[in-house]
Amino acid sequence: MSKIPSGQYSEIQKNTTMASDTDFGQYIAGSLRGRECGGRDLALGNENRKKSACASPIGTLVLETDGLTLKALRVASTADTYVQPCDNALVLSWLERYFSGREPDFLPPLELQGTPFQRRVWQELLRIPYGHTVTYGELARRIGCHSAQAVGQAVARNPIAVIVPCHRVVGANGLGGYAYGPDIKQKLLNLEKNT
């Protein structure tokens, strides 16, 4: 994976504008923006986005970007097609650091698209510390929601896997669900626990 030249991320972060349509901007200096959208797959399939892929310990990762901004990241399925390797240095640097067992100390510019409720849940996912987990019920309490099930549905719709750490949310009596299966969820939790 590519390395970021020294100081490049801070320069990009300074040039990122604040988003006025969501409080995500206050959380990570404007690098997250949210919008309403519909459909089952909130993030993938937009023709204006560059689709690429990179290898990882959990399988091939499919990414969609718009310039420097990451719009979607997921584990590839057998139906995925892509034409080029990922060249987004910020995302690759984050992933390289993460999968080498080190806690990343920055976030690449992200744009999460979803309902206001989903964005609230995803914002709270970003607050779960590296190496820690919370239950769906605890996550619901943190955002003032009475339904752990509604929170679970929002967690399942997270368009940016790994970086927005939905794998850190577990069931009250076990691992809980994960879009890419319990084995991958356990691998990610073990990676964080062992560092």
Question: What DSSP assignment string belongs to 147-175?
Answer: -HHHHHHHHHT-SBTTTS-GGGEEBTTB-
CA distance 137 to 97: 30
CA 190 to each of CA 56, 66, 131: distance values in angstroms, whole numbers, following the listed order: 15, 32, 9
Q: Containing H/E element for 1?
A: none
The set of catalytic residues is 166
